């Protein structure tokens, strides 16, 4: 596997159909731009059609020949996820790449439409449901891929199964909830890969993280004095641009030398920037028992059973 993968190494994606969740902003937007430029047919899935159409217009201005379709998907509502999957399957009979990218970080306490704590709800459970509902299409597409975007912060994560659907507001720490959801992303990819191998499916599951990238993700970040210090002194040293941050996910989605079960991230200092290469995950992300328990809990909360 090449250590210095760049966009020039990405094969043509002509004939491929790709879904990018959260495709209107940050890493998702940059991914849509590149995938469309490489001639994929890209579905830009977003919770706001106006923001999605705005993103599409911006890309089409520079790349008028590309194929981008905007579709509504709100991962904080299982009803919306179902409607998206139904609408997608009514129009498309294949899905080569599902890039599960959308996410929220450090948001104040809140619940999804279905009553889940919103970071686990959007970042993990929404994508769990989406992937399950699209599994038949992924299965029937040769060499299809699912990519899951996690974070370096998964290393601070711990899965507290009782925190997924609080009935009453308990002590809530936005950073703890975000780290948990990003650990859940990796455990989901782990178990999905396991089940795909077990059922001998012609599919690849890869997880990735962007290191640190300048996007709109930090909009809920505590802007206190320690944040300003970090922002002024440490961030510029570690943070890369959004297009650079999109590279690990893009490599995970398109490089044929990347195999199922791999985890891709920047190869530079502390994995915060640099060429996308094999990344290191925390031991908790490789805990098979927790991965299986998370799978069962996710099935029971979402009501989505995977038909392998
Ligand atoms: N940037 C980083 O340094 C960094 C580091 C580690 C991991 N990540 C991960 O990278 C991924 C992309 O984040 P980003 O940095 O590109 O942030 P971003 O610029 O805020 O983009 C996040 C995207 O997710 C969408 N989204 C949020 N809630 C949604 C919902 N309920 N349904 C559908 N879409 C929803 C947002 O839509 P709206 O525009 O409508 O809000 C937006 O399109 C996330 O999974 C994040 O955890 C980022």
pLDDT in tens, 61-98: 999 999 999 999 999 999 999 999 999 999 999 999 99
Q: For the sheet with 263-266, list strands across it.
A: 67-72, 41-46, 17-21, 97-100, 144-149, 203-208, 263-266, 276-278
Residue 118 beta carbon below 6 angstroms from any ligand 1 atom? no
Please state which of the ranges 1-5, 38-42, 187-191, 196-200 shows the lowest mean pLDDT: 1-5
pLDDT at residue 226 above 60? no
Q: What pTM was estimated for this model as a whole? A: 0.96
Atom of ligand 1 nearest to the CA of 100: 45
Structure tokens at 38: 């490489």
Q: Are 250 and 242 in contact (CB under 8 A)?
A: no
The pLDDT tens digits of the residues spanning 161-183 come to 999 986 655 689 999 999 999 99
Distances, alpha carbon 102 to alpha carbons 146, 225, 266, in Å: 14, 28, 19
Question: Has residue 308 been placed in a domain?
Answer: no
Question: Has residue 7 been placed in a domain?
Answer: no
Question: Has residue 120 been placed in a domain?
Answer: yes
Question: Has residue 306 been placed in a domain?
Answer: no
Question: Has residue 52 been placed in a domain?
Answer: yes
The pLDDT tens digits of the residues spanning 264-285 come to 999 999 999 999 999 999 999 9
Active site residue 306: no
Question: Has residue 145 been placed in a domain?
Answer: yes
Under the banding of pLDDT at 50, 70 and 90, the label for residue 235 is low
Residue 245 beta carbon below 6 angstroms from any ligand 1 atom? yes
Pairwise CA distance, residues 57 & 291, whole Å: 40
Under the banding of pLDDT at 50, 70 and 90, the label for residue 217 is very high
pLDDT at residue 8 above 90? yes
CA of 177 to the centre of ligand 1 (A): 15
Closest CA to 210 of 155, 275, 259, 260: 275
Closest CA to 252 of 234, 285, 274, 278: 278
Question: Has residue 117 been placed in a domain?
Answer: yes
CB neighbour class for 54 (10 Å; exposed up to 12, middle 13-18, buried from 19): middle
Distances, alpha carbon 135 to alpha carbons 139, 215, 304, in Å: 6, 30, 11
What CATH number has the domain bearing residue 173?
3.40.50.720
Domain tally for the chain? 1
Q: Are 288 and 189 in contact (CB under 8 A)?
A: no
The residue segments making up the domain with residue 292 are 12-300
Quote the crossing angle between the two packed helices 247-254 and 26-37, to the nearest 10°: 40
Question: Has residue 305 been placed in a domain?
Answer: no
Catalytic residue among 88, 109, 166, 178: 178
Helix ranges restricted to H, the chain? 26-37, 49-62, 78-91, 118-119, 127-133, 135-139, 174-198, 225-229, 235-238, 242-245, 247-254, 288-302
Residue 217 beta carbon below 6 angstroms from any ligand 1 atom? yes
């Amino acid at each position: 596997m090449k250590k210095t993968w760049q966009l020039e190494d990405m094969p043509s994606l002509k004939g491929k159909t790709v879904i990018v969740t959260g495709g209107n902003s940050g890493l998702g937007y940059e991914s849509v731009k590149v995938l469309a430029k490489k001639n994929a047919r890209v579905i830009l899935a977003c919770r706001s059609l106006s923001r999605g159409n705005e993103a599409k217009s911006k890309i089409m201005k520079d790349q008028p020949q590309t194929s981008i379709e905007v579709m509504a998907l709100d991962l904080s509502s299982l009803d919306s996820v179902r409607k998206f999957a139904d609408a997608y399957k009514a129009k498309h009979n294949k899905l080569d790449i599902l890039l599960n990218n959308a996410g929220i970080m450090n948001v104040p306490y809140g619940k999804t439409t279905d009553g889940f704590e919103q970071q686990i709800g959007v970042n993990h459970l929404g994508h769990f449901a989406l992937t399950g509902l699209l599994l038949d299409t992924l299965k029937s597409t040769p060499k299809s891929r699912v990519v899951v975007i996690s974070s370096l912060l998964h290393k601070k994560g711990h899965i507290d199964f009782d925190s997924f659907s609080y009935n009453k507001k308990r002590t809530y720490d936005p950073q703890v909830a975000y780290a948990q959801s990003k650990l859940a992303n990796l455990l989901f990819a782990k178990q999905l890969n396991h089940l795909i191998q077990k059922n001998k499916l012609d599919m690849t599951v890869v997880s990735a993280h962007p290191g640190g990238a300048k996007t709109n993700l930090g909009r809920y970040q505590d802007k206190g004095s320690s944040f300003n210090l970090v922002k002024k002194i440490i961030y510029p040293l570690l943070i890369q641009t959004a297009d650079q941050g999109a590279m690990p996910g893009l490599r995970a989605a398109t490089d044929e030398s990347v195999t199922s079960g791999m985890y891709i991230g920047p190869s530079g200092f502390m994995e915060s920037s640099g060429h996308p290469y094999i990344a290191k995950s925390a031991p908790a992300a490789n805990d098979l028992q927790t991965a299986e328990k998370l799978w069962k809990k996710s099935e029971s909360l979402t009501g989505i059973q995977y038909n392998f």
